[in-house]
Amino acid sequence: MIRERRQQILNEILEQGYVKVSILADRFSVTQTTIRKDLNALEKQGLLHRSYGSAVASSAPVKDISLDKKKMINYDAKLRIARAAASLVQENDSILLASGSTIAVFADNLKPKGRINVVTTAVNISSLLGENDSISVMQVGGMLYSNTLSVYGSDAIQTVRGIFCSKLFFGIDGMGLSHGVTCATREEAELTQEMMRSSAQKIVLCDSSKLGKRGFAHIADISDIDIIITDSGFPEESRVQFEAAGVQMLLV
């Protein structure tokens, strides 16, 4: 009985990506305490991630895949996110852009009113925006990582330390209340942390599939982020929890 119920719970999480404790308790005619025990047992097996009153699908640690492949994953959502992010850029802004597939879509849709300054670690973004007469581009130097077309290392960190911008836009590979925002490599995490220190606002661009996923390297806690722009598939309960942590959530 217990095994069958837990298998059904797991099947639903794999299909829906998200379940609520109260709904499961009603469905199986058991107490919420029983459901929490089921979810805790499944979490210990690495099959899901628990959060308050709910659970989300687990996943293998996020792998560092090529930028072109990442860009096509959930592209429609990334486009809506990118356009919403672009609307936050003001005339005469100085902004920091990290690397990543959603940031690349953001750069494609960045049509500023008046002039802006852009500092970026990504050479593909630098090349793209450099063609726009309204944008002054500063390319951060360092060792080039081919998968993301981004630089990293001590030279990049030193450059970022010498500047300050109003906003940082960056992508992530996973996020959750317990483990914060994460990415695929320690080098990327270290550089992103430095970029956060060099900006007034920290803005994450990610589609809702990143919820519950966990990359190799920790960037920051959820409470360290000012704004998360994501798609409307982001669970309502998680939105409330993130906002309680001090994050402004923009769902598009």
Give the model confidence (pLDDT) of 141-187 as tens digits.
Answer: 999 987 778 899 999 999 999 999 999 999 998 999 999 999 988 89
3-state secondary structure of 179: coil
pLDDT bucket at 16, cuts 50 / 70 / 90: low
State the pLDDT at residue 10. Answer: 81
Print burial letters for 156-172: b (CB count within 10 Å at least 16), e (below 16).
bbebbeeeebbbbbbbb
Closest among 142, 144, 143, 150 to 125, alpha carbons compared: 150
State the pLDDT at residue 68. Answer: 57
Mean pLDDT, residues 47-62 taken together: 63
Q: Looking at the predicted structure, is the pLDDT value of residue 54 above 80?
A: no
Q: Looking at the predicted structure, is the pLDDT value of residue 73 above 80?
A: no
Q: Looking at the predicted structure, is the pLDDT value of residue 61 above 50?
A: no
Range among 8-17, 19-28, 72-81 rated most confident: 19-28
State the pLDDT at residue 202. Answer: 98
The span from the first CA to the last CA of the chain, in angstroms, equals 41
- Give dist(CA 145, CA 140) in Å, integer: 13
Place of tokens 């939105």: 239
25 or 43, which is more confident: 25
3-state secondary structure of 28: helix
- Among the listed ranges 63-77, 142-156, 181-195, 224-238, which one has the minimum average pLDDT value? 63-77
User: ∠ at Cα 145 (140, 149), nearest 5°?
Assistant: 65
State the pLDDT at residue 89. Answer: 96
| 241: amino acid identity, one letter | Q
Residue 132 contacts residue 165 (beta carbons within 8 Å): no
State the chain's mean pLDDT as an integer: 88
3-state secondary structure of 182: strand
**Stretch (H or E) spanning 136:** strand 135-139
Residues contacting 230, CB < 8 A, separation 6+: 77, 81, 206, 207, 208, 210, 249, 250, 251, 252
CA 173 to chain centre: 6
Strand order in the sheet with 48-51: 18-20, 54-57, 48-51
| Token pair belonging to 184 | 């695929």
47 or 98, which is more confident: 98
Q: Looking at the predicted structure, is the pLDDT value of residue 249 above 90?
A: yes
Q: Looking at the predicted structure, is the pLDDT value of residue 60 above 50?
A: no
Flag whether the pTM goes above 0.75.
Answer: no
Q: Looking at the predicted structure, is the pLDDT value of residue 212 above 50?
A: yes
189 or 46, which is more confident: 189
